[in-house]
Chain A
Amino acid sequence: MHEMSLAEGVLQIVEEHAVAQGIGRVGSVVLEIGELAGVEVEALRFCFDAVTRATRLEGAALRIDALPGRGWCMACAESVAIAQLYDACPRCGSHQVQATGGTEMRVKEFFGV
Chain B
Amino acid sequence: MSVGARRSDLDLRRVLALSRKESLQIIRDPSVILIAFVLPIVMLFLFAYAVSLDIKQVPIGLVMESDGAEAQSLAAAFAATRYFAVTPARDRREVVGDLLGGRLRGIVVIPQDFEQRLASHVPQPLAQVVTDGTQPNTASFVAAYARGVLTGWQASRRSPRVGTLSLEPRFWFNPEIESRRFLVPGAIAVVMTIIGTLLTALVVAREWERGTMEAIMSTPATVAEIIVGKLLPYFALGLSATFFATLVAVTVFGVPLRGSWLTLIALSSAFLFPALGQGLLISTVAKNQFIAAQVAVFSGFLPAFLLSGFLFEIDSMPAPIRAFTYVVPARYFVSSLQTVFLAGDVWALLLPNAAALVAIGLVLFALVRAKSHKTLDG
A binds B: no
Question: CB within 8 Å of A: which residues of B?
Answer: none
Chain A residues in the interface with B (C-beta under 8 A): none
